[in-house]
Amino acid sequence: MGGSYQMTGGSYVDSLMSMDGCDSVITTTLTVDLVMTNSLTENICAGDSIMLGGSYQMTSGSYDDTYTGVNGCDSIVSTMLTVDPLPVIAVNPSPGNVCTFGDTVTFTANGASTYAWSPATGLDVTTGATVMASPGSAQTYTVLGTSAAGCVDSATVDVQVSVGSPMPSFNSDVTACEGRSVLYNNTSTDAISFAWVFDGGTTADTTMQSPTVTYSTAGTYDVSLTAFGCSADSTLTMTAYITVSPTVTNTDVASICSSDSIMLGGSYTNITGSYVDTFMTVNGCDSVVTTSLAVEPAVSAGMSGMADVCNSTFSIDLATVLGGTPDGGGTWNDDDTSGLTIIFGNLATVGAAAGTYNFTYVVTGTSPCSDDSATATITIYAAPTAGTNGTLSACILATSVDVSTGLGGAPDTNGVWVWTNDNSSGAFSGTTLDPSVAGLGDWTFDYTVPANTGCAAATATVTVTVVSTPDAGSNGTMSACESDFAPIDLSTGLGGTPDANGTWNDDDASGGLAFGFFSPLVSGAGTFNFTYTASATGCTDATAVVTVTVAPAPDAGTGSTLNICDTTATVDLTSGLSGTPGIGMWSDDDLTGALSGGTFDVSAVGIGTYNFTYRVMGAPCADATATVVVDVSNCVGIDEVGISTFILYPNPSEGKFTLDFGNGSSDNASIEVYNATGGLLEQVGIVNISSKMYIDLTGNPNGLYYINVIRDGKLVTNKVTITK
């Protein structure tokens, strides 16, 4: 496929010639199914068998069974079989001699992990390595031993009565190697127990019937055995009985590549570690050689492979072209000096010239391993070009739009146009769309350049938006006050259904236009025109004008307080206004009934405080108001009561007031303080008033208070205000 033999999954294109001489392009998607592998382990005991590798097996090793997977490929199961040995069971002593039946003899078994004894007759327990037997007659016991691997074997031992005097005897090897063990086979008769003495040897139990003795040092040694009977003892001593020869040890080092193997430790291996090989010296003892093996990993560059790539692809990872599992850290060589860039094993293919190029991957081995290499053959094909996506806009009144002008780039000329959302109006032919026939909407057109070998087809889309003629709405008018803080949305002044996203123009340069909003606070009073323009590509602009009349804000002036004597007949309230108040109306806030126009009839009311509001209206602006307060007081002169002129200050205050008589004085006068409801708060008689007197009202709440200065039944009243 694709002009060569393929072993890698992917899409491959083959161009064949049809009967009419044209290309017949076949695109094949290749899927490479994997061979499934599994590993198992099995254990059996010596003498058993298991079906593996097509037959019953009784030998340790690796066996393969091949099955068919669900994908039709092989499913290989590799089983590592281990044949575990049967335990070798030994019982000490054997036989067990007693002086008379009913006596106790202790049996100890070895060679297995667990033990079961039978029959139970005369036994203290039936499990464990050691049991105590006291049968009433001759008895043979069987012990079943189970190894750690679960394998089972057995041994038997008898209990019998000793009938004669003990005769010690034994036999064993009379030569040994240091570090090795020697089994002493006890052949004594009529003994019920034993005691051994081993010169230069060690054993786990010197009372065992047939012990195993280890000699750690070369030399010649004596052996002594005492046999104990029911009525007598007997000892056998063998002088210079055994000769122990030394063991020779050596060390060595070796190094191999992981793809090789070496005979060490009794088998071929390629695993790093320490291996021991034992040979026989001329004196028959071990010559132990310990070899330290270093295994250097064999390097792999994988297997050579091939791949096709389109030059529209940015890059290809060359390692993915190789088969196997190539090692990292190798180097790539541009065999054909193509000049293509390789960065971290990635070949830059975008825009590359079409052709076939070879790149060799080399992995350097560490001695004693050699280098390895594999070649990636890359065939680069030129990609078809359909240009880039684009958009066009056309007015519904237009009759012809060339959709190909909407493509970007440099598209190939062998492509085909398709109206993807064709409305069956017949408005499209070749590359020309008639918007007046197609109607309003977004119409999409795909331009597709067919695939070629190694490359997929290329498609670009042009979207033509056919828009209606623009609508700016109809002219409108609006009004505002020059003091309005919030800007006005001019679009609310347009009639009809104007298009969104139009533009506004400040025709009279008011300075108050920003983003379709007009601020009267910036422009001030006046009449201003604003033109709204709606546009659509290919269509004539539409406009509408909004005229805004900004009215000046009304002015009621600034109010004040008029202090009037109760002897005054009338007051012109406008005298209490400052600034430049406009024409307005007065209101009698306290409903005195004494207001006529702007004149307040003081004679119609009593002493007190009266409020009047002046209101100036000026739609669309909010009304402007100002308040004039008229304070009517008793204004009898101080000289009428025989008291010189005085000043009362500060007024208002937080409650402390000063009564200043200047240089004057008066005898036998009094001072009274009243609250606003007429309640007497304080009365003070004064004698020989001179200069200043202080009045403290801080204990009273905020409000209006009256201070009277009285003499001979006449008074002068002053109003004061407490504000804290």
Mind listing the pLDDT tens digit for each residue in 101-157?
888 999 999 999 999 999 999 999 999 999 999 998 989 999 999 999 999 999 999
The CATH code of the domain that includes 645 is 2.60.40.3080
What is the band of 714 on the pLDDT scale with cuts at 50, 70, 90? low
Claim to verify: residue 622 and residue 570 sit in the same structural domain: yes
**Both tokens of residue 344?**
């971290």
Rounded to the nearest 10 degrees, how much is the dihedral formed by the CA atoms of 64, 69, 74, 79? -10
Do residue 253 and residue 209 come from a single domain?
Answer: no
Residue 235 within any structural domain of the chain: yes
Binned at pLDDT 50, 70 and 90, residue 503 comes out as: very high
Q: Is residue 556 part of a domain?
A: no
What's the whole-number mean pLDDT along residues 453-467? 91
What is the DSSP code string of 223-256? EEEEEE-SS-EEEEEEEEEEEEEPPEEEEEEEEE
pLDDT digits (tens, 9 = 90+) for 516-546: 999 999 999 999 999 999 998 778 899 999 9
Has residue 186 been placed in a domain?
yes
Per-residue confidence (pLDDT) for residue 540, from 0 to 100: 87
Task: Tell me what the mean pLDDT of segment 453-472 comes to.
Answer: 91
Do 72 and 103 share a domain, yes or no? no
Q: Are 162 and 194 in contact (CB under 8 A)?
A: no
Q: In the prediction, which pLDDT does 708 show?
A: 82
668 confidence band (pLDDT: 50, 70, 90): low
Domain C-terminal end among 420, 443, 467: 467
Question: What value does the mean pLDDT of the chain take?
Answer: 88
Please report the pLDDT score of residue 112 as a whole number. Answer: 95
- Chain position carrying tokens 């019920």: 192
The number of domains in the chain is 10
Last residue of a domain, one of 142, 161, 180: 161
> What's the CA gap between 44 and 58, in Å, rounded?
8
Which residues have a Cβ under 8 Å from the Cβ of 98 and sit 6 or more positions away? 104, 105, 159, 160, 161, 162, 192
Q: Which residue has 């028959």 as its token pair?
A: 284
pLDDT tens readout for residues 398-425: 899 999 999 999 999 999 999 999 889 9
pLDDT more than 70, % of the chain: 94
pLDDT at 493 over 70: yes
Q: Tell whether 140 is covered by a domain.
A: yes
For range 62-66, the mean pLDDT: 91
Has residue 59 got a pLDDT over 90?
A: yes
Q: Which domain holds residue 485?
A: 476-551
What is the dihedral angle through the alpha carbons of 664, 667, 672, 673, rounded to the nearest 10 degrees?
30
- Domain match, 617 and 577 both: yes
Mind listing the pLDDT tens digit for each residue in 578-630? 999 999 999 999 999 999 999 999 888 888 899 999 999 988 999 999 999 99
Query: Which tens digit of pLDDT belongs to each residue from 12-51?
Result: 777 776 666 666 778 888 877 666 778 899 999 999 999 9
User: Does 689 lie in the same domain as 671?
Assistant: yes
Q: What was the pLDDT predicted at 21?
A: 61
Residues 372 and 309 in one domain: yes
Better pLDDT: 22 or 76:
76
pLDDT for residue 88 is more than 90? yes
What tokens appear for 247 in the block?
């063991």
> Does residue 678 sit within a domain?
yes
pTM: 0.35
Domain termination residue (choose one: 210, 228, 245): 245
pLDDT at 458 over 90: yes
Q: Same domain, yes or no, for 213 and 266?
A: no
285 and 227, same domain (yes or no) = no
